[in-house]
Amino acid sequence: MMRAYENSYEENYPGGLGDRTGTGGSKSFAGKFLLLIVVVLMCIGIVVVYTSGAGWAQRKFSNQEYFLWRQVIYAILGLATVFIFSSIDYRIFRKLSKVIFFASIALLGGLLLFKFMGVIKGAARWIYIGPLSFQVSDFAKYAMIFHFARLITDKKDYIKDLNESYYPMLTLLMMVVSLIAFAPNFSTASLVALIGFSMMFLGGARLKHLFWTATALVPLAIVFALSKSYRVDRIVSFFNGGDEEQLSYQVRQALIGLGNGGMFGLGIGESKQRELFLPLSYNDFVFVIIGEEFGFVGAVAVLLLFALFFICGLVIAKNAADGFGRFVALGITITIVLYALVNIAVASNVFPTTGVALPFISYGGTALLFNSLGVGILVSISRKKKLSESSSSGDEMTEGVV
């Protein structure tokens, strides 16, 4: 019976009984430190959203604290989301991954259908439920991570097979990416594609398959990007960056703000660009206000926090209790850090302008809550490993022997 228990443990926790000692402290620390990083980022977000959005709030709502209190509420709800999902066994998402994934496909397709029917004017990105709303692409992004983690784990013995593994996963990924792209939301579609291909690569897909897929898809993506005049204008202004007159208004103001900050910044609330010069200074360009008010030191500190987030995520993934947890952790970590890097790159004129928020810092509820869900799952993954390690004796062992 002891042997039966060991076999059962091997199935559920690769690495066996011998893997339950020696590294528990680092795994537990990674989850706790990750939570600390997120709390710090949320606190930075509250401060910067207030300082950057006060002028806009006064102009639009006659209340300088409008964005402040909403961001505080979002942060509280975000922390509640973290603690709720950290207490849930993450493996429930393995069982529900197919349902969640195809529900996201149905929602994306439904929004696109309403757009073509003329019910939705403009971009078909949001679902409104009374006073609440959420961006469906955020839901689809995490649905894809859960389902891909399950598929990669289930197909691990033939993950390199073109017909049995690669094509089915590629088809599912292109369904999500296409629906998001035609919303239209090209920047999010591109990032979701990159996340999906990253998970496939880390899962063991052949590099040559990924290469030839990219060779075919990149030209199509370029044609799609050039199909709308506003995207062409963004690309032209980016590649004409040497000529200041050709830069977009937002980019010019962003670079002025970063330059104003110098080494140590102008001080909290002293930003010049926030006073109605830089649109969306509390959202897409919030990093500019960080650089202006806290200087180069503050900007690097934020980059360091996301670098530490990345390291913690990798540690949690490396020591996950099972393959599903490992790839969910990798997917969530890549997603949050990738969005942060793209937002910062746009603010610094390294990438063309896109509407990507800075995780945990930019103003807004949907992205913050979904990213908080992801952090809660990361903590759950780290806790599950810790619990399994501590079960070498006591009731669980007795139950296994009996």
CA distance 137 to 302: 26
Q: Classify 126 as helix, strand or coil.
A: strand
CA distance 87 to 90: 9
In a domain, residue 44? The reply is yes
Nearest to 367 by CA among 356, 351, 382, 383: 356
In a domain, residue 8? The reply is no
Domain that holds residue 181: 25-387
In a domain, residue 134? The reply is yes
CA distance 84 to 234: 40
Scan for tokens 């990032």, then name that residue: 191
CA distance 19 to 7: 14
Burial class (CB in 10 A: 0-12, 13-18, 19+), 9: buried
In a domain, residue 296? The reply is yes
**Taking a C-beta distance cutoff of 8 angstroms, is the pair 293, 18 a contact?**
no
pLDDT at 387: 46
Scan for tokens 């199935």, then name that residue: 11
> Domain tally for the chain?
1
| Amino acid, res. 54 | A
**Taking a C-beta distance cutoff of 8 angstroms, is the pair 55, 274 a contact?**
yes
- CB atoms under 10 Å from CB of 328, counted, come to 33
**Taking a C-beta distance cutoff of 8 angstroms, is the pair 34, 371 a contact?**
no
In a domain, residue 380? The reply is yes
pLDDT at 374: 96
- Provide the residue-wise pLDDT of the chain in tens; the chain has 402 residues: 434 433 433 344 443 333 333 444 555 788 899 999 999 999 999 999 998 888 778 888 888 888 899 999 999 999 999 999 999 999 999 999 999 999 999 999 999 998 888 888 777 788 877 667 788 999 999 999 999 999 999 988 888 888 889 999 999 999 999 999 998 888 999 999 999 999 999 999 999 999 999 999 999 988 888 877 777 777 776 666 545 554 567 777 888 888 888 888 888 877 777 766 777 778 888 899 999 999 999 999 999 999 999 999 999 999 999 999 999 999 999 999 999 999 999 888 888 878 789 999 998 888 899 999 999 999 999 987 544 444 433 333 233 322
In a domain, residue 9? The reply is no
Nearest to 233 by CA among 248, 217, 249: 248
CA distance 310 to 314: 6
CA distance 97 to 7: 26
In a domain, residue 118? The reply is yes
pLDDT at 129: 73
Alpha helix (H) ranges present in 87-185?
Answer: 92-117, 136-154, 167-181
pLDDT at 122: 73
CA distance 39 to 33: 10
Continuous segment of H or E residues that includes residue 12: helix 2-12
Sign of CA dihedral 172, 378, 199, 362: positive
Nearest to 357 by CA among 373, 369, 374, 340: 340
In a domain, residue 103? The reply is yes
pLDDT at 13: 40
Decide: pTM greater than 0.95.
no
Sequence-distant (≥ 6) Cβ neighbours of residue 57 within 8 angstroms? 63, 64, 65, 66, 67, 68
- Strand 126-129 with 132-135, pairing: antiparallel
Scan for tokens 């989850």, then name that residue: 31
